[in-house]
Structure 1
């Protein structure tokens, strides 16, 4: 299994209630029902107020790297990424478990 972690940081001046952010979260929340390769899917807002903390997290799992690649390339995922690109940056980690 491959764990896919993504930590998002909202751009300066962008708040959680920004309509673009709300839409981005909705789109990502819905991916679990649209992409069959997803085996585990959870996401949510960070509760920490530490300066080094990111704002939003996505924790997911896939059977193997081929399934992860299909997810990454899936049009529904790409549409979500395009939305998030407008208001956030992110870091990822993919590892076997």
Structure 2
């Protein structure tokens, strides 16, 4: 299995209630059950007020590298990425477990 972690940082001046952010969260929330390769899916807002913390996280899992690639290239995932690109940056980590 491959764990796919994504940590998002909202751009300066962008808040969680910004309509673009709400739409972006909804787009990623909708992926659960939409893309068959997803084996595990959770997401949520960070609760920590530490200055090094990111704002939002996705924790997901896939059977193998091919399944992860299919997810990454899926049009619904790409549509969500395009939304987030307008108001955030992110880092990822993919590892086998």
What TM-score, normalized to structure 2?
0.99
Question: d(CA) in 2 for partners of 1:73 and 1:44?
Answer: 22
In structure 2, list runs of 5 or more residues that go unmatched: none
Question: d(CA) in 1 for partners of 2:64 and 2:33?
Answer: 19
More helix, by proportion: 1
What is the match of residue 31 of structure 1? Answer: 31
Question: d(CA) in 1 for partners of 2:57 and 2:81?
Answer: 14
Please provide the CA RMSD for this pair: 0.3
Question: d(CA) in 2 for partners of 1:38 and 1:88?
Answer: 23
Corresponding residue pairs, total: 97
1:34 is displaced (CA, Å) by 1.0
3-state DSSP of counterpart to 1:93: strand
Structure 2 residue 19 is the aligned partner of structure 1 residue 5: no
1:33 is displaced (CA, Å) by 1.7
Deviations 1:42-88 (A, max 9, x none): 00000000000000000000000000000000000000000000000
Structure 2 residue 47 is the aligned partner of structure 1 residue 47: yes
Runs of 4+ in 1 over 2 A off after TM superposition: none
